[in-house]
Amino acid sequence: MADRTPDRYQRFARTAPGRFLTHRLGLPEPAVLRRWSPERPSLDGELLHLTAAGPADAALGAVLARTGLLVATASERPAAVVLDATGVATAGALAGVHAALYPVVRSVAASGRVVVLGAPPSPTDHHQAAAQQALEGFVRSLGKEIGRGRTVNLVRVGGAVQEAESTLRFLLSPRSAYVSGQVVEIGARTGGGTGSGSGGPSGPSGRSGEGPDGTSGSAGNGPEDASRDRTAADRAAGWAGDWSGVWSGDWSRPLAGRTALVTGAARGIGAAVAGALARDGAHVVCLDVPAAQADLLRTAEALGGSALPLDITAADAADRMAATTGDGLDILIHNAGITRDRRLANMSADRWASVLDVNLAAVLDTTDTLLKSGALRPGGRVVATASIAGIAGNTGQTNYAASKAGIIGMVRSLAPRAAAHHGVTVNAVAPGFIETRMTAAVPFLIREAGRRMNSLAQGGLPDDVAETTAWLSHPASAAVNGQVVRVCGQSLLGA
């Protein structure tokens, strides 16, 4: 596979003199990450299925068997390890986690995967809650010490394990190369149409009434209407009619027949996201500012998509987005963003407002309008772009960090209501240091620090964000909702 990283230190560290010097001086030794390619779409080797407490779950075994990896209960050099710790409910039972992984963790192949399955901490059993929360600390620590390009993540399964299949396929594949130390919550699968009262209140007062996105705190339509709407949306998305939780669509082109709109798509991360969605079968509408029209047209043409030159802060932006997508929109990717960096003491009101307008206000306004109008169809996906800066903060970026933290707030609040009333999931990706034209302009020492301050000791690529976005956009990811997934190589910032 061609070397796509612009990181000259990483390339030097792979040479014989580089390996000698980095080892002798104790310098970071970034591994070559195994990323997805058409020639090598899956990991090479066996998937080791282990259990920390109780017997092996047959349903989980069936899901793992569908990942394409050979499932085994013993392996000398596993490509991946899945540890079922959902039954761990006491402090003493945590010994089973150690007993299962201690003998095998050294043998996991380079660029391998470790996925721990947990259960949601119980609000009524503090012993179970303590044991399950302990898994989070364990996973984050193991991710920082395992090395050799290997990743470690925790998946909390709150419903049937079949609902976690798209997540397990993603985390056990080369597509998740730069995702580590993350906790993904799997809830109950959302259907289409209106909900049955699971959405939260529409405003701070908690009173019923229509919110800006067309949702309310009321129960919505009756159970028969809600059931009928969910059934239609589920069948359209490829879910099995027996409600077994098994998605029956084409995993190689899961977005076939769907329409996606990606903002900020002319270049960089946005272009990579558009490419991943097009690869997975979607017709992609590529949106960017009119000033980037030349690059935008090239991107759209290369993908067989459509170009929409548009300032997303325009008053009619949502209406023009809806008109361009014709019969409706299935996937809305909010990737557009700008920076106008200054320390607060030197930041003008214009610099503050421009960043908040593009990065946050436009996201809120267009999402509300597209949901309320029904342009975003049942079974749809909204994926917004947050940032590590919104989690940890960053000097000289009070405006940018505020806008990205606002995205996280939007996701957490809107997700349950959008699912209940519209059958649409809302999630976010939070990139760390990603190798783009923007980060290439960062001063050398700051750029090097950004690259090394994560468990993988290197920057990510736009494709890493794109693959994570494609997973969240997948029709089988209906049980992943309200999540903010960091694509940062397990950054030390905000850890």
Single-letter amino acid, residue 193: G
- CA 151 to chain centroid, in Å, comes to 15
Q: How far apart are CA 127 and CA 60, in angstroms?
A: 25
SS3 370: helix
Ordered strands of the 259-263 beta sheet = 306-309, 283-288, 259-263, 329-334, 376-385, 425-431, 484-487
The verdict on whether 178 is a catalytic residue reads: no
Residue 352, CA distances (Å) to 150, 237, 287, 296, 340 in order: 39, 41, 23, 27, 8
- Which of 9, 102, 178, 400 is flagged as catalytic? 400
Where would I find the beta strands (DSSP E) of 210-279?
259-263
Q: How far apart are CA 226 and CA 395, in angstroms?
A: 48
The residue to which tokens 């920082």 are assigned:
144
Task: Give yes or no for a contact between 346 and 298, defined as CB atoms under 8 angstroms apart.
Answer: no
Q: How far apart are CA 206 and CA 137, in angstroms?
A: 34
Cβ neighbours around 442 below 10 Å, total? 14
Rounded to 10 deg, the angle between the 317-324 and 362-373 helix axes is 50
Task: Give yes or no for a contact between 240 and 248, defined as CB atoms under 8 angstroms apart.
Answer: yes
Catalytic residues: 400
